Amino acid sequence: MINIVVAGFKGKMGMTATKMVIENEKFALVGVYDPHATEKNLNELNQFSTRDVRVFQDKEELVKEVQADVWIDFTIPDVALKNTCFALEHNIRPVVGTTGFSESDVKKVQQLAKEKNIGGLIAPNFAIGAVLMMEFAAKAAKYFPDVEITEMHHDKKLDAPSGTAIKTAEMIFAERGYHQQGNADEKETIKGARGADYEGMKIHSVRLPGLIAHQQVQFGSVGEGLLIRHDSFDRSSFMTGVALGCEKVMSLKELAYGLENLL
């Protein structure tokens, strides 16, 4: 049995992760964390009325009261790095779905995990289909170097571009290298019209109510085009990857960046 804590349990992803942990026979939910929560027990929430699980507002109190193996984090970018470092420092394996980590942030927590000799995972996207989309896009980039990424999320998402879009761009760059696209003399009549630039490729972010998480990678070549797209229509699509991450980190001795490293 893997003892798990969920941080950010009151958010939509946190709620979904909490439900997944409760329903998975391999897991035991030993606590949930939110510094702003007013509840003392998870059973105060209607959807978890039969569950006796302590709600913690203080991380230090949490580690004194419960023995956790895994720390699932679906919080916000400003606090996720601190939470991840805290978990590692207390020998709890982080499984982080919060995006917004910089390259230096990832290296920092990877070094800490190495020093502590325990596993962890930061995944820009936990949907298996999204991981395949990124891998297919990277493979296609060898033959179609001209590419633009459009990611579409709900209007409550704080970071842009999404972690998935950045990870996709990094994987494409690893295959094709720098490649300047478009007309060398093009000019934006409205600033930002061509999107963000990552090593020559453009990334566009859409934020609208009603969306969950969607991304398309569009390639263009002489006389043809290729579109690779993934859609998450429900947050439950991420839970297979989260559950897999919780199991896999138990045997890791390092922190992986990207779910594809565990498949």
Q: Within its chain, how far is the Cα of 45 from the centroid? A: 25
Q: Do domains 2-122+236-262 and 128-232 have the same CATH topology?
A: no
Binding site as annotated, residues: 8-13, 97-99, 123-126, 154, 163-164
Instruction: Point out the catalytic residue in the list 19, 59, 153, 204.
Output: 153
How does the average pLDDT of the chain come out, rounded? 94
Known active-site residue 153: yes
CATH 3.40.50.720 at 2-122+236-262, yes or no: yes
Helix (H) or strand (E) holding 220: strand 213-221
Q: Which residues lie below 8 Å from residue 25, measured CB to CB, with a gap of 6+?
A: none
The amino acid at residue 250 is: M
pLDDT at 180: 87
**Per-residue pLDDT tens for 144-194?**
999 999 999 999 998 899 989 999 999 999 999 999 888 889 999 999 999
- The pair phi, psi for residue 64, each rounded to 5°, is -80, -30
Structure-derived torsion over alpha carbons of residues 153, 18, 237, 219, reported in degrees to the nearest 10: 40
**Per-residue pLDDT tens for 15-71?**
999 999 999 999 999 999 999 999 999 999 988 988 999 999 999 999 999 999 999
pLDDT at 263: 81
Binding site as annotated, residues for (S)-2,3,4,5-tetrahydrodipicolinate: 154, 163-164
pLDDT at 241: 94
Q: Domain spans of the chain?
A: 2-122+236-262, 128-232
- The pair phi, psi for residue 121, each rounded to 5°, is -150, 130
Q: Helix (H, G, I), strand (E, B), or coil: what is residue 224? A: strand
Q: What percent of the chain has pLDDT over 90?
A: 84
Instruction: Point out the catalytic residue in the list 90, 108, 139, 157.
Output: 157
Binding site as annotated, residues for NAD(+): 8-13, 97-99, 123-126
Contact 218, 152 (CB under 8 A): no
User: What is the pTM (predicted TM-score) of this model?
Assistant: 0.80
How large is the average pLDDT for residues 122-140? Answer: 93
Contact 9, 47 (CB under 8 A): no
Query: Among the residues of the chain, which ranges form H helices?
Result: 12-23, 59-65, 77-89, 103-116, 128-140, 163-176, 239-248
Q: Within its chain, how far is the Cα of 47 from the centroid? A: 24
Question: Among 3.30.360.10, 3.30.160.270, 3.90.800.10, 3.40.50.620, what is the CATH number of 128-232?
Answer: 3.30.360.10
Known active-site residue 90: no
Enter the tokens of residue 211: 């969306």
pLDDT at 158: 86
The CA distances from residue 135 to 156, 172, 176, 228, in Å, are 27, 9, 13, 10
pLDDT at 64: 95
